[in-house]
Amino acid sequence: MEENLSFDLYHPQPLMVVISGPSGVGKDAVVKALKARNLTFHFVVTMTSRVPRQGEVEGVDYFFNTRENFEQLIAEDEFLEYALVYEDYKGIPRSQIRQALSSGTDVILRVDVQGADTLRRLCPEAVLIYLIPSNEAEWLERLRTRKTETAESLAIRIQTARSELEHLAKFDYVVVNAHDRLDEAVDTIIAIIDAEHHRVEPRKVCL
């Protein structure tokens, strides 16, 4: 007698999705557009020791903290990952990741390239997506029109971002975020996540 085949095999596991790329590539814009789709993702809010920029909202853009308090949290091992970036700390609170994954929800993190490199070592099964502009001229114009940098700090960001392109091989996917084509980049990211949920051998992300 033939055994009945079981089709009860498809149980998508929650993913940790890391969105990264050089400064000025539009990481924040991509995450904002993903949020606007009202999908069942948990968007991790990074903590930083820098002061808020105009229009930034506590608990939405970042959790803002003093340098002293941030260093205390580091001592207490309260961050999955943290780094000193442009003289300010940025870190990912462990509790957000653990709670979301435990509930079966995909986690979306927006981090700089240095942070993504660290996450690859800590959580090798995370899905790493690297955003790039369509060309260098467009990217440099984005940086200049932000008007949040001094001439000196802008030069540092440009130099750093160019060196960050050398890390591309450490990522799983590359997505072009071209000017006025934000929706295409978001559609591609959603398609990547959907495809990852259909892997025969699902990723086993860390808690």
Give pLDDT tens digits for 143-200: 777 666 677 777 777 777 777 777 788 899 999 998 889 999 999 999 999 999 999 8
Least confident of 33-37, 53-57, 147-151: 147-151
Q: Annotated active-site positions, please?
A: 53, 146, 157
**pTM for this predicted structure:** 0.80
CATH code, domain carrying 153? 3.40.50.300
DSSP per residue, 145-207: HH--S-HHHHHHHHHHHHHHGGGGGGSSEEEE--TT-HHHHHHHHHHHHHHHTT-SS------
Total number of residues shown for the chain: 207
The total number of structural domains in the chain stands at 1
Asked if the structure places residue 204 within a domain, the reply is: no
Asked if the structure places residue 3 within a domain, the reply is: no
